[in-house]
Structure 1
Amino acid sequence: MLAKNNVQLITYVDRFGGSTLDELNTLLTKDLKGLFGGVHLLPFYYPIDGADAGFDPIDHTSVDNRLGRWADISQMGEKLEIMADMIVNHMSAQSKPFTDVLAHGKASQYWPLFLTRDSVFDDENSPDIDKVFRPRPTKFFSDFTLKDGTEVPFWTTFTSNQIDIDVESKQGKDYLESILTVFSQNNIKLIRLDAAGYAIKKAGTNCFMLEQTFEFIQALSERASELGLECLVEIHSHYQTQIEIAKRCDAVYDFALPPLILHTLFTRDASALKKWLAISPRNCYTVLDTHDGIGIVDVGASDGKPGLLNNDEIDNLVETIHQNSLGESRKATGNAASNVDLYQVNCTFYDSLGRDDMSYLVARAIQFFCPGIPQVYYAGFLACENDIELLKKTKVGRDINRPYINKEEFDRRLKFPIVKALTSLIRFRNNDVFTGDFICSANNNSLIMRWTKETDHAQLTVDLENLDAKIELNQNNKIQYMQLSSLMRSFENKV
């Protein structure tokens, strides 16, 4: 029986103590046995080393043979709940369908699969083009020359190697169906709908999270359900949009949580976090860090609607992250590095807190007590520092938080007091009481989060003044207490 509500891991197959699916499976079922109830395998499709770390697949239904085979994923899915990315918005410019388009133009059977500027806009100078929401500083059209010499501006929301798909075309629908079918045949239970908010493009709109986009997500989720799959929708947007999306799909990310927890710890004020937890979707997955950066748009204002934080609070949040990381995050954020999103700060979560073990442990405790299924990114699990050398090598901002960890380094980090303490906290969170009822309260000095299931309860009391926390667990009429500072000291003394 898979543990649905237990903490899950997010990781690349080849960056977490090994280089293959078989090695990762061994690590999760032996070295970390019983720790994680599931694992989000970041793109393992061919190739894993494209322009966007696997998010630009040449073949979305093929496992990169450097990692293993579908059989390895199916085997892993026998003991762990597997989540895989479904990249609905685009595919690689090197894919067979797109290279066929370049060779044969409109005569290609795949021509309707891809979006061009002219398939959406009547005129290359249309004022509607300026209305399109841009997630990155690059152009959203890239010119490609067909074999006959014709130059065509194809839609490329993210990079020029990621050609946007017309998901409303028959070819687009067939393509997505082929991915769902392969997933359902190989023990994948959860699908992360990547970049789904950009999937529908309509002239006269901003081409982001339109009503038609909601309908597309809902229809795709319903089809996935027919095949025994659940969908997690990945959208960075205003918090009210997130609430609306949650009503029409299986699950959403709580992307407002990471900046709100940082704000709480930086200011010692939990009022904004408390406000959010009173209205946040319950069918969510919680994260502090992912392969992307720390989202900011999720707590900001949008189209005249106030955010969960005001502009001054957001500015202070971002600047504090830069200061805590000794300026390293500044080098990886915004226009400072290529292939980055404009709405996030690129930094490991550990560095965003100045590598302070207690602050980091308190942040994780808050995450684990929030409603939703918690996910822990591999770099966060191992309390990794910013990978400046990788950033210098690739000049890709998000690579600062995408380190390659070999087995030797993995074993070394498992011995860190903060990693041992976090491991203890994860094992505590894998408790059935967290499927009960949740309440939250806060005052000037503390944040109290409590779960109750029948006669059992678990309570987290955060001391905001001293950045410490106490956990109380009452289960089967037995009460246990855990002080996070004492937990940290117990492992520090063993070093």
Structure 2
Amino acid sequence: MTDQPAATPAVPDVPPAPAVRTGPQLIAYADRLGGDVARLAGLLDGPLAGAFDGVHVLPFFTPFDGTDAGFDPRDHTVVDPRLGTWDDVRRLADGRTVMADVIVNHVSAESAQFQDVRERGDASPWAPMFLTLGSVFPDGATEQDLARIYRPRPGLPFTAMTLGGERRLVWTTFTPDQVDIDLRTTQAWDYLTSVVDALTAGGVTVLRLDAVGYTGKEAGTDCFMTPATAAYTRRIVEHAHARGAQVLVEVHGHYLQQVEIAQTVDLVYDFALPPLVLHALTTGDLAPLDRWLGIRPANAVTVLDTHDGIGIVDVGPSDLRPGEPGLLPPADIDALVERIHDNSGGTSRQATGAAASNLDLYQVNCTFYDALGRDDRRYVLARLVQLFVPGIPQVYYVGLLAGENDMDLLAATGVGRDVNRHRYTDDEVAAALDRPAVRAQLTALRLRTTHPAFGGTFHPEVTGTTARLRWTSGAETAELELDAATGAFAVHATTHGVSRTVLTDSDVASSPA
């Protein structure tokens, strides 16, 4: 395997994007960690100081607590007053990168625009903005046309609604509360540019394009990641760059799609990393991870867990790339899913698939800590692997605090993803910050944020069940030595060329709590 520089390829033929800090970022809901935007900033400036260069604040728009945890805002340009103001967001952005979501594919069915369409139908000036079955298939759709449409949930992506007194089939890719927009129309672009303008004026410098893969709906295709999608993405990237922001594209799919998309945008997610790390640390098999390290995009945002589930489609074969194998064979993926369910004591099984609403076909709903059986040592090792892999590491707030599946919240809402969306009290945060597994993560994060070696060249070496992930910049080095079979690890780094041991597995518990 060749050494890998930390360079980020430029997006061709569009205005260049500004530089963004490459250190770790926190991912959090403002209401579930801190309580609002100002108190989230207080945590980052207080007990989490030095650990993060930035923060991805999950939807904080009006309302932040809709049917899809803020991904269905009625007004995407306004901070929910229960969470703060744009001035609070700008203060949060002082000295750090702030990322926020641009929900590209849909808007809330309760938005003022769609409510006007409900009342007035085609007489509404907003009517062209919203997709119906007839928008994409004006001559009608055959059974084959409908069966071809790709959707991350079972069933067809349509909901019967009355628009101006007429029953129509409205395109709703995700839920009936989220109505898809038609990016072929002026109205849709006026809406999206107003969102980008509001965010960038509020201090946001990285825009995460949520569900952008579903925007390019065209007859005769599967309506996912079509050529139109690429054109729409390019247009948003150009608009974002002109306003001083970079773009992160969120797409789950075959790993080759991520490699291809990475050549056309600023940043992509490395969604293959979490299942490959879980596979390695539950079997001792580093070979699939080793292969991925040799071909993955350098301009990636790395994660272990997020506000969604643990992606499986990202390492498997896909109907979207017929004939192309995945990074793991189907038998290994099935075994991995079962190990996650076993390690979580069956709680992830209760939150995944047909057992819970918000059904996704490609994710397991589980905290990463429970997916590893609450084994502190292996859990910290997983985080270390993430931090040493090239890219911008993002750490989800539940993962940072080594959170367990929230079965009470799941019981209250019936939404599978809520097992990994705990609402932390101040006392719970304080208690979690005192745990060895959390202290160890913060030590590693502060190293990743400040050490100059991470701005240099990455040298991975994998032999059997052991690996050494090493960064060098001049005389400065930082390296992780690990054994995937035993969970043993050690982190070493230089200070002015003199090596020291930063962290070892003896600093955290060696078995599940």
Moved more, 326-335 or 347-356: 326-335
* Contact kept? 1:138, 1:159, Cα under 8 Å: no
* Contact kept? 1:340, 1:398, Cα under 8 Å: no
The answer for the alignment partner of 2:16 in structure 1 is none
Deviations 1:277-316 (A, max 9, x none): 1010000110000000000000001221000000111011
The answer for the alignment partner of 2:288 in structure 1 is 272
User: Is residue 96 of structure 2 the alignment partner of residue 80 of structure 1?
Assistant: yes
User: Is residue 418 of structure 2 the alignment partner of residue 402 of structure 1?
Assistant: no
The answer for the alignment partner of 1:102 in structure 2 is 118
Sort the Cα spacing of 1:244 and 1:24 in 2 relative to 1 into closer, same or farther, 3 A. Answer: same
**Given the alignment, which residue of 366, 373, 376 partners 1:354?**
373
Deviations 1:32-71 (A, max 9, x none): 2222110000000001111100000100001111101111
Q: Which amino acid is the alignment partner of residue 478 of structure 2? A: A
Shift of 1:124: 4.8
**Given the alignment, which residue of 21, 26, 40 partners 1:9?**
26
Aligned length: 488
User: Is residue 471 of structure 2 the alignment partner of residue 451 of structure 1?
Assistant: yes
* Contact kept? 1:201, 1:208, Cα under 8 Å: yes
**Given the alignment, which residue of 22, 36, 43 partners 2:38?**
22
The answer for the alignment partner of 2:144 in structure 1 is 127
Shift of 1:432: 2.3
User: Is residue 213 of structure 2 the alignment partner of residue 197 of structure 1?
Assistant: yes
Shift of 1:158: 0.2
**Given the alignment, which residue of 41, 62, 67 partners 1:46?**
62
* Contact kept? 2:130, 2:182, Cα under 8 Å: yes
* Contact kept? 1:455, 1:475, Cα under 8 Å: no
User: Is residue 504 of structure 2 the alignment partner of residue 488 of structure 1?
Assistant: no
* Contact kept? 2:281, 2:485, Cα under 8 Å: no
**Given the alignment, which residue of 474, 482, 490 partners 2:494?**
474
Runs of 4+ aligned residues of structure 1 deviating over 4 Å after TM superposition are none
Distance (Å, rounded) in 2 between the aligned partners of 1:478 and 1:484 = 18
* Contact kept? 1:446, 1:462, Cα under 8 Å: yes
Distance (Å, rounded) in 2 between the aligned partners of 1:253 and 1:445 = 26
The answer for the alignment partner of 1:493 in structure 2 is none
* Contact kept? 1:116, 1:155, Cα under 8 Å: yes
Structure with the greater relative contact order (CA < 8 A, sep ≥ 6): 1 or 2? 2
**Given the alignment, which residue of 425, 442, 445 partners 2:462?**
442
Distance (Å, rounded) in 2 between the aligned partners of 1:132 and 1:78 = 44
Q: Which amino acid is the alignment partner of residue 128 of structure 1? A: D
User: Is residue 55 of structure 2 the alignment partner of residue 36 of structure 1?
Assistant: no
Matches within 5 A, 1:333-352: 333-352=352-371
Shift of 1:483: 4.4
Identity %: 48
* Contact kept? 1:381, 1:419, Cα under 8 Å: yes
Deviations 1:163-200 (A, max 9, x none): 00111211111111101111121111100000010011
* Contact kept? 2:283, 2:485, Cα under 8 Å: no
TM-score in terms of structure 1 length: 0.96
Deviations 1:73-129 (A, max 9, x none): 011111221000000000000000000001100010000110000111122545211
Q: Which amino acid is the alignment partner of residue 7 of structure 1? A: P
Deviations 1:123-182 (A, max 9, x none): 25452111001101253100111342x101110000000000111211111111101111
Secondary structure of 2:131's counterpart equals coil
The answer for the alignment partner of 1:144 in structure 2 is 161
User: Is residue 486 of structure 2 the alignment partner of residue 462 of structure 1?
Assistant: no
**Given the alignment, which residue of 68, 75, 93 partners 2:84?**
68
* Contact kept? 1:115, 1:164, Cα under 8 Å: yes
Q: Which amino acid is the alignment partner of residue 479 of structure 1? A: S
* Contact kept? 1:368, 1:374, Cα under 8 Å: yes
**Given the alignment, which residue of 390, 398, 422 partners 1:371?**
390
Distance (Å, rounded) in 2 between the aligned partners of 1:202 and 1:475 = 56
TM-score in terms of structure 2 length: 0.93
Distance (Å, rounded) in 1 between the aligned partners of 2:48 and 2:378 = 24
Alignment RMSD, CA only? Answer: 1.5
